[in-house]
Amino acid sequence: MSDRNELPSADEIALLKPAPGLGLLHSVVALILLLGGLKLALADNVIAYAAGQFVLAFFFVHAFVLLHEAGHDTLFPRRSLNRVVGHAAGFLTLIPFWNWQRIHARHHHYAGWQDLDATTASLVPRAIRGYERRIINFVWATWLPLFALTYRLQNFWNLPRVARYVSNPQNMRRIRINTAIVVAGYVAMVAIVGPLTLLKLIGPAFLLSLVFQEFLILSQHTHVPQRLSDGLDVRPFTPLEQEVFTRSLKLPAWLSRVLLHVDAHELHHMYPYVPGYRLRHIRYKPMNEVHWWRWLKAARGLKGTDFLFRNWNDTGIRV
């Protein structure tokens, strides 16, 4: 991406469409990571097992990215293929696909309005109790991925909370059915494989993947100044207006490419219908893009409560 600082034309954006070959390539890569990681994790060798956990951790992160793309219908040109991969990726990453799609759609609709966006509403500034402060600062300092786990449970598994953000009865019915099917699948998998065997096989890998997913998720909107509706009927910000409410990371080029440029989050909000694997073709330099290491050092230098519940206008630290 060049330093060009003017928005691309509509004709340029129109060329950036989903490609079946690239969607298939990323899906096959995920399958290879899964099968290869499982084979290593099953080996009777400590080094092979450890290598398998790292491969599986990368798979879980990659599958999370595929879930995101499929939810936008940007992995493949055909909606049916997006649904197949989306449901598979959701099952494997502990996020039912329909739950993800509807909550994430609301996230894009209300991005910038912190109290209306289901994924950011829990971080609206408030008085924090003493025990909460101690827990939050402890897990933040120790890198325990509590926030990535809470993000999953609160936004996609807490159905009464989900229902507050999904007004369409048909969509909510789909969410309940999807959740029930996924739970049944997990019960069957645990019964067939065995809980201890399953935990040994993928437990460390999934925990490690949550650490990296937390790094990605919290880099996108946290500590960036947002608006509050305070219960008023407000106008959602257009995609191009959402640039100021989000942040992009600059990951190593190879990693960004493998992860479908999930780090280009400002461009994604500005052009949510452009496939992730094409985002870096947009010749525009976002205003809040920061090198991943610089962001990580600055964010981790703050207390957890300051990073999560305040923004750079409050702390004076623009991360």
pLDDT in tens, 224-254: 999 999 999 999 999 999 999 999 999 999 9
Could you give the CA distance from residue 250 to residue 264 in angstroms, rounded to a whole number? 7
Could you give the CA distance from residue 289 to residue 319 in angstroms, rounded to a whole number? 10
Residue 36 lies in a domain: yes
Residue 4 lies in a domain: no
Read off the pLDDT band of 2 (50, 70, 90).
very low
Beta carbons within 10 angstroms of residue 306's beta carbon: 18
Read off the pLDDT band of 1 (50, 70, 90).
very low
Residue 270 lies in a domain: yes
Residue 183 lies in a domain: yes
Could you give the CA distance from residue 2 to residue 5 in angstroms, rounded to a whole number? 9
The average confidence (pLDDT) of the chain is 96
Let me know: does 245 contact 224? Beta carbons within 8 Å. Answer: yes
pLDDT above 90: residue 136:
yes
End-to-end CA distance of the chain: 22
In the chain, the number of structural domains is 1
Pick from 265, 287, 289: nearest CA to 276? 265
pLDDT in tens, 18-37: 999 999 999 999 999 999 99
Residue 225 lies in a domain: yes
Residue 319: its pLDDT value, please? 75
What one-letter code names the amino acid at 235? R
Residue 194 lies in a domain: yes
What is residue 212's DSSP assignment?
H
Percent of the chain past pLDDT 70, that is, above it, reads: 99
Could you give the CA distance from residue 212 to residue 61 in angstroms, rounded to a whole number? 7
What is residue 227's DSSP assignment?
B
Residue 2 lies in a domain: no
Tokens 């992730």 appear where? 276
User: Residue 111 sits in which domain range?
Assistant: 10-315
By residue count, the chain amounts to 319
As given in the structure block, the two tokens for residue 80 are 């049916």
pLDDT in tens, 84-113: 999 999 999 999 999 999 999 999 999 999
Residue 4: its pLDDT value, please? 62
Distances (CA, A) of 205 to 106, 135, 150, 271, 299: 30, 24, 18, 32, 24
Phi first, then psi, for residue 75 (nearest 5°) are -80, -45
pLDDT above 90: residue 260:
yes
pLDDT above 90: residue 163:
yes
Residue 75: its pLDDT value, please? 98
